[in-house]
Amino acid sequence: MIRAAILRLLAEVGYGALTMDAVAAEAGVGKATIYRRWRTKQDLVADTITELNATTVTPPDTGSLEGDLREVLYAIVDVINGPMGAATQSLLSTVPHHPALGAAFGDGPVGVWRRAFAQVFARAEARGELRPGLAGTVTAEALMAPLVQRWLITGHPVTRDYADQVLADVALPLLRATWKPRG
Amino acid sequence: MIRAAILRLLAEVGYGALTMDAVAAEAGVGKATIYRRWRTKQDLVADTITELNATTVTPPDTGSLEGDLREVLYAIVDVINGPMGAATQSLLSTVPHHPALGAAFGDGPVGVWRRAFAQVFARAEARGELRPGLAGTVTAEALMAPLVQRWLITGHPVTRDYADQVLADVALPLLRATWKPRG
């Protein structure tokens, strides 16, 4: 698959050293196939980023805020440790220097994750577990931020065990303290 | 100053395109001065990272946990928006591919910030505002993580206003809910 080949190459050699020919070779297709679809390397990468950002994560409905949050955090762990995580890390220092890539990147994978959280919040609001309005707040950003920090800066492993700790020690206590329904 | 020149170049051209000659030119010194101090580009960058990681941030003692946390968060905002923030961002995708840089990078600026938080926690513990043992926990990591997430992924501005929001909506409620002294 061409997109998988692009992600592998971004992770391995980075945007600077990526070539259309290498993408064709890695994907096992002819160069004409690549050039028919994308005119330049920048088109190809921007298009790949746009597709990734359009990914929909639908967290399973476990029936509780705790269960749903765990599923979203696990999904984030899986993305971080997969080909998209490695490609994203490799792109991050390139994006600010290429306006077209920056525009396509936007909030990157965090946008996808934010939408998944918004679904979980909506369900919890409907069940009366949360006050309405959490999506889009700094509190909502904080629920996934420790995973992102480990992934990008400290390089410590981002595991499901770590997600469990973030859930138990950060996400649930914070939401209970500040987003409990009134009355 | 040579270190400032190295940071500027890392931010502008990245590790891949950095040269010893460019460092000499940017710093306004002779090449011999650079080569006398560092044998290779990798030595030069690893040494710069090591110096940065040895930086000590001593947060002013404001007399309260809230005041001290605000000072540390503001200090982080200033680093993120300064030459060290730009250089770090540029290095992040390079570090995993160069074992010597990775070893020097360690936890990066987060290590410096973690030590500043540890001082603030120790003062608050001494005043009876916090239970002992917060330093090193996932909760402690979570206090700065929203700033790191904005800085590295979403690219939204990391301002003192944003730090105030993180303090009011995330850090203080979380600590009050989970690290209040018993009894």
Q: Minimal CA–CA distance to A40: which of A18, A25, A14?
A: A18
Using DSSP, how many helices (H) and how many strands (E) does chain A show?
11, 0
pLDDT digits (tens, 9 = 90+) for A32-45: 999 999 999 999 99
pLDDT, position A82: 93
Whether the CB-CB separation of A24 and A1 falls below 8 Å is answered with no
- Quick one: pLDDT at residue A3? 92
Which of A102, A138, A153 minimises the CB distance to B108?
A153
Is residue B30 within 8 angstroms of chain A, CB to CB? no
Cβ contact A173–B176 (<8 Å): no
Tens digit of each residue's pLDDT (9 = 90 or more) over B24-35: 999 999 999 999
Q: Does A181 touch chain B (CB under 8 A)?
A: no
Residue B56: per-residue pLDDT: 85
Residue in B172, B103, B101 with CA at minimum distance from that of residue B142: B172
- Mean pLDDT, to the nearest integer, of B165-178? 97
| Average pLDDT score over residue span B64-70 | 98
Work out the mean pLDDT of chain B and round it to a whole number. Answer: 94
Tens-digit pLDDT profile for residues B130-165 = 999 999 999 999 999 999 999 999 889 999 999 999
CA distance A146 to A17: 31
Structure confidence at residue B97 (pLDDT): 82
Domain ranges of chain A: 2-178
Q: Is B93 on the interface with A (CB under 8 A)?
A: yes
- Provide the token pair at A62: 């476990």
pLDDT at B94: 84
CATH H-level superfamily of B2-178? Tetracycline Repressor, domain 2 (1.10.357.10)
Closest to A92 (Cα-Cα) out of A15, A8, A2, A169: A15
Q: Taking CB atoms and an 8 Å limit, are B152 and A93 in contact across chains?
A: no
Residues B91, B137, B163, A173, CA torsion sign = positive
d(CA B73, CA B170): 12
* Among candidate residues A100, A87, A108, A80, the one with its CA nearest the CA of residue A9: A87
In this complex, do A178 and B173 lie within 8 Å of one another by their Cβ atoms? yes
Q: Are A31 and A21 in contact (CB under 8 A)?
A: yes
pLDDT-based confidence at residue B8 (cuts at 50, 70, 90): very high
What's the confidence (pLDDT) of residue B93? 81
The span from the CA of B126 to the CA of B135, in Å, is: 14
> Which residue in chain B has the smallest CA separation from A104?
B154
- Banded pLDDT at B183 (limits 50, 70, 90): low
User: Over the stretch A90-124, which tens digit does the pLDDT of each residue have?
Assistant: 888 888 888 899 999 988 899 999 999 999 999 99
Spell out a b/e string for B25-42, using b for 16 or more CB atoms within 10 Å of the CB, else e: ebbeeeeeebeeebeebe
The reported pLDDT for the residue numbered B55 is 86
| Tokens 């971004």 found at | A10
3-state secondary structure of B41: helix
Ranges of chain A with pLDDT below 70:
183
ipTM > 0.85 for the complex = yes
CA distance A80 to A152: 10
Residue B182 predicted with pLDDT over 80: no
